[in-house]
Structure 1
């Protein structure tokens, strides 16, 4: 049962303040939206001698982490289109997450589409912000994409630039 209390003796500004404080007392800050969560270099899979250790590494939004795990299973079976489908879904959830673009670029390289890999990595660099380690790792993968396109000199310069970022 709800009771209505009339506060006649309380001045209007004080009443307003009491209502405001009472209404805000249970408020907590909202968690960041999935598309606002910032990726770091730790969220990228480890790159070792032309191979990616796992597509499911890093700390991510639960839905994205699940899609990365599915993409990893597809990677292990070399089902590249299926892996890309899962990564496309992850990008719909977090369209500004450079870790998603990184994984898509790697899968694109496995599919023989180095041009698309380069484009995805360029987008990832836009969203990498000031994280130098993240930028360095993106550049190293981009050098692989450039090599696959026969652009060895550009790849060499990019690797050199990535070495300076350390």
Structure 2
């Protein structure tokens, strides 16, 4: 089963919007992400409904952040996308007559609820500014690694 990458795509797009600091067309943004502009627009529309991005129409229009990266958490984006949960697991039958299947549903259901709660807790603790800072640290490491070493 192919994983749902909407959260990764949305976060990637938001970080590019934050980096650019200006209105960007969905075509230009899609090129930065190597993504389909139509799929990206669908994702951005969800983020717009949640007040995370703005869309400006007409000549010179495009997408921009409605909130700063520091005020956005990964959980804000995750919840805006309404993916239906992080796992694609579920009961075979919501209301089984079999006591064994009922016990299985309770056990698996409890595990899934706990796992999603832990995931949300972590996502709430990380802002997009934190992720952007990580990008900056990685860029600095790469520049340092590529810099020619001087002989003493």
TM-score by length of 1: 0.27
Indicate the structure (1 or 2) with the bigger Cα radius of gyration.
1
TM-score by length of 2: 0.29
Higher RCO, Cα 8 Å, sep 6+: 2
